[in-house]
Structure 1
Amino acid sequence: MNKINMDQTTIENQINEIAKTTNKTSEEIKKMVNANTEKYAGLLTEEAAIDLVKKELGILKEQNERLKISELSEGKKGIEIEGKIELIYPIKEFEKNGKKGKLQNFIISDNTGEIRGTLWNDQIEENKIKQGNEVVITNLIVTTYNDKNQISLGFGGKVKTIKENETEYKKSTELKAGMSNVNIFGKIIRKFPCTEFENSERKGKVCSFQLGDENAIIKASAWNDKATIIDNFSEGDIIEITNAYTKEGRFGTELHLGYTSEIKKSEKEINTINQTDTTQYLEKKLNQLNERDNVVVEGKIVKISTGKLAYLVCEKCNKKATKTENGVYCDKCGEISGKQNPVLSAIINDETNETQITMFGEQALEFIETNEEEFNKNLENKSTEEILEQISKNKINKTIKLKGYVKENKFLGANEIIVKEILKN
């Protein structure tokens, strides 16, 4: 008899033994075994499923042995460990063999090491874990994946919190390149336009911003789904960030928000340092511009670009709003009273190249040399063409010096400068 048949015979014998002990039929026991296998999306062995049935029927007593993480080895079960939840990964949904499920991975450590754990399906809600808490995990099962031990809960297994710890937040001045699991809170000082990218390895989205606390202002970047989340916050919002990491950037340590990071609005109060623009700008010629550069440039205005002079924004958060039959709607704030935000583009030229510059809000008003009230009156009483013609008469062949950052204008197929400050007008 080959090994497979012997294993099957052993399983049949176990099922028959359970049936005799419990006065249930073998078919009933098989159904219970299959139900446990399906519950774990086919990731449970038949032997483990049989053990779960035994525990459900009260014929397999729990004998949890407390071990250290370094003492865990594949195949051990009915044991428990004590440790601290170091990292929690986002919940992930999956489909296997036509069945949907979800899982949440986490890292737990003690004084001998750390190990990855997984909660499956209902276990996620039944065992709500929090980073930093000290816990005891009972009735766990040890398996291996890529030659590394990992743990999951057996039948009746629990994650019991024995000590709740407050999240420890770093100060901006404590950050150094190469750190992981960084928790920090601060105020969004400035947001930069989000950009999408694609290369031979991947495609995605990144949103960069400046985060300030009472000590410093640092550059931060949120990637992919975290970029979408940060894009819904506004300058001035106070946020809490967990599980971020740091890298060395062009101008010092930068904070990065990746797959495991979490972002939420904070109820904490914070006094930030003087909120001046601490970005380092480099004086450059127009033919030296690279995407994402912060630059100081000077050039002659050769053209005022055509197009809309304003767009509708939310009065509360200053994000783009939509006019509907029922009024003005903001995706973040709901129904609101909108306002017109000025926008104006121009082409400047130096002896090396020409580039489009784009100004929003106060910078556009400063360039036109008007105020918000006068600008809105002109929008009501004059056509866009009339206003642009007057601006051209006043500005063509004038020299402008400005601070700004370089981004790709996909419509133009070239870089443009988003004006941050006009130095000479």
Structure 2
Amino acid sequence: MDEVTEIYDKLGDIISQEEFRKKVDEKVDQMSGLCDMRTAAMLVAHDLGVNETETSVQKIADITPESGNVRLIAKVMSVFPAKEFNRNDGTIGRVANLIVADDTGSIRLTLWDDKADLVKTGDIEIGQNFQISGYVKEGYSGIEVNIGNNGILCESEEKIEACVDCTKIEDVKNGMGDLNLKGKVLDISEVRTFNRKDGSTGRVSNITIGDDTGKIRVTLWDEKTELATGMNTGESVEIINAYARENNFTQQVEVQVGSRTVLKAIDEDVNYSENFTPISDIIPGEPYSVKGSVSGLGELREFSRDDGTVNMVSNIYVSDDTGRIRVALWGDHALLVDELDIDTEIEIIDAFSKSGFNDEIELSAGNRTRIVVL
């Protein structure tokens, strides 16, 4: 008895075997090769309302390490490259990972061998909805669903509202992967080009996002930089499958958005409020945001860099009710000195503190600094 007949025998007399096989063939064609005959037969049986062939559909939030075999319908949120490994018997195995989500949460899928090949061939893409059947186990990064050659991974036409578990910005640490965040866009930089060691040209851009626990700089690479050009400050975004890395220059942790990262605008209003430091509490070697009134204005001057390019700098003084500090404005920020007046209220966000003339602490406002004239 073949596997299609075996599944058909569980249907009773609700449909003829000829009609059942016809529907199975149609299902295989419909899934563009992502289903084998057995899986297609199971899905047709499910469409006919016969569920004895599979466990009932579960929500991701209800899956536990003791769940055993599970069946779920979820949306692909992240796709990781397939890898090969050597088994003890000398054969070569294949493995790949996905992050999928439904309206209750997200979970990792581990695909083995033939199922992993679907990632390698590009048949699985972010945003697809799948019917999934596999077994649960505790993996290196938490609960995961494993899908071998006898498991089910077939595209579904059912609409899925995906909900992913998000990390708060204050909890982001260097080296973290599979990182999901929600934040309000605070600042957007221009797209810059650079030359790689292999002679190719790359593109990079940055945005800064914040939530109710803090803010963080996000770096977008290559084709992802196009997303920044369509953003507006003040809107909320969701980042799925990013990773965190320490910037070698600033020693601050940043979020990296690569080719396998999803970055999209969301309707949710993410709360953020800037943390302003009293001027008297500033110490050298840290980034700070200050708020106060302009209490001194210097002159704009130009100078030549070592590479022959010309830059600009000016100085202002800012005071609050705790003290007064000099702020060096670099590049385009330097032009502000001609627009400001004494007692103008101003916010200087993400300026770097250092010891200046006579060891007095001052702030340096460069290309990572945002200045708001109130």
- Tell me the TM-score normalised to structure 2 length: 0.47
More helix, by proportion: 1
- Tell me the TM-score normalised to structure 1 length: 0.43
